């Protein structure tokens, strides 16, 4: 959907990004991406915090973790392949549903990262304390990295297509190595994969931004049409996934440096 093409100005430019005017499509993409991230973050923090004192909730989410992940994959692939055949309202609903379920899965990941057991001196029972600073560091670092790379992707005159092809091959290698490491359980390989993940998705952020910008500046999509909303949602989902993956890999790195 975001294939590169000849860029011909065809839409009224509004808003700015680092002093550069933005097309309406880009503004809408960033708006929906922000809404999705906000929904994910709220649910993830709320549930992770609730798990500190509610172990039944933890068991419920942990028990349904695989099912939720499968549902997420179905939604992402379904939206990617059928976005042109669903209404804009359905596309928005699926995106928000995905963001909400991602908040549930991320709550378990965050809990496993920040929670440390301790003994309550008053009751002698085991309680959980959370080191939320790790999450804060990962989030603000992600925001900085993502912001810088999306600005670069939007403003650069260099064609990033060749870099994007290389990054996609690297991503496939990362996925394969990650699956292998599930069985190896190598801390050293986990660290290498985390660094590689940050670098790959950092580069993909710039590439994806440039692709969406080229679509926004073409005469293919007109503001106010159903296709405009569909493309905006797919663009938002693409950048949303870049942000989430950078965050998760950075969270892993910050957590390992704390040990």
**202 is in which domain, residue-wise?**
18-258
**Pair 157, 258: CB distance under 8 Å:** no
- Given a cut of 80, whether residue 219 has pLDDT beyond it is no
Do 239 and 212 meet the contact criterion of CB atoms below 8 Å apart? yes
The answer to whether residue 12 is domain-embedded is no
Residues 186-215 pLDDT 10s? 999 999 999 999 999 999 999 999 999 988
pLDDT tens digits along 137-151: 999 999 999 999 999
Mean pLDDT score, 39-55:
92
Domains identified in the chain, total number: 1
Closest CA to 237 of 216, 214, 212, 203: 212
pLDDT for res 58: 86
Instruction: Convert the pLDDT of each residue in 82-123 to its tens digit.
Output: 888 999 999 999 999 999 999 999 999 999 888 775 555 665
- Three-state secondary structure call for residue 15: strand
Is 122 among the domain residues?
yes
Whether residue 229 has pLDDT greater than 60: yes
Task: Give residue-wise pLDDT tens across range 56-83.
Answer: 898 999 899 999 999 999 999 999 898 8
> Half-sphere exposure (CA, 13 Å, Cβ side) for 58?
14
CA distance 194 to 201: 11
Residue 110, burial from CB neighbour count under 10 angstroms (0-12, 13-18, 19+): buried
Is position 80 within any domain?
A: yes
DSSP-derived secondary structure for 84-148: GGS-HHHHHHHHHHHHHHHHHHHHHHHHHHHEEEEE-TTT--EEEEE-HHHHHHHHHHHHHHHHH
Note whether residue 2 is domain-resident.
Answer: no
In a domain, residue 10? The reply is: no
CA 47 to chain centre: 18
Q: Kindly state whether residue 5 falls inside one of the protein's structural domains.
A: no
């Amino acid at each position: 959907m975001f294939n590169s093409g000849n860029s011909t100005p065809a839409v009224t430019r509004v808003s700015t990004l680092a002093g550069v005017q933005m097309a309406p499509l880009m503004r809408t993409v960033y708006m929906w991406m922000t809404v999705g991230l906000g929904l994910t973050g709220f649910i993830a923090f709320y549930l992770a915090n609730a798990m500190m004192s509610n172990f039944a909730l933890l068991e419920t989410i942990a028990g349904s973790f695989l099912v939720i992940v499968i549902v997420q994959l179905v939604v992402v692939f379904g939206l990617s392949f059928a976005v042109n055949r669903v209404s804009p309202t359905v596309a928005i609903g699926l995106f928000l549903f995905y963001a909400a379920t991602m908040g549930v899965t991320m709550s378990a990941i965050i809990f496993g990262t920040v929670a440390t057991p301790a003994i309550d001196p008053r009751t002698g029972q085991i309680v959980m304390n959370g080191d939320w600073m790790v999450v804060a560091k990962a989030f603000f670092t992600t925001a900085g990295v993502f912001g810088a790379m999306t600005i670069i992707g939007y403003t650069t005159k260099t064609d990033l297509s060749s870099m994007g092809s290389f990054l996609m091959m690297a991503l496939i290698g990362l996925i394969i190595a990650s699956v292998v490491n599930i069985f190896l359980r190598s801390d050293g390989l986990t660290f290498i994969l985390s660094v590689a993940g940050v670098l790959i998705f950092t580069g993909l952020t710039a590439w994806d931004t440039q692709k969406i910008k080229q679509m926004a500046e073409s005469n293919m999509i007109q503001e106010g049409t159903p296709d405009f909303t569909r493309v905006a949602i797919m663009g938002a989902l693409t950048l949303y996934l870049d942000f989430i993956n950078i965050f998760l890999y950075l969270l892993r790195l910050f957590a390992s440096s704390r040990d």
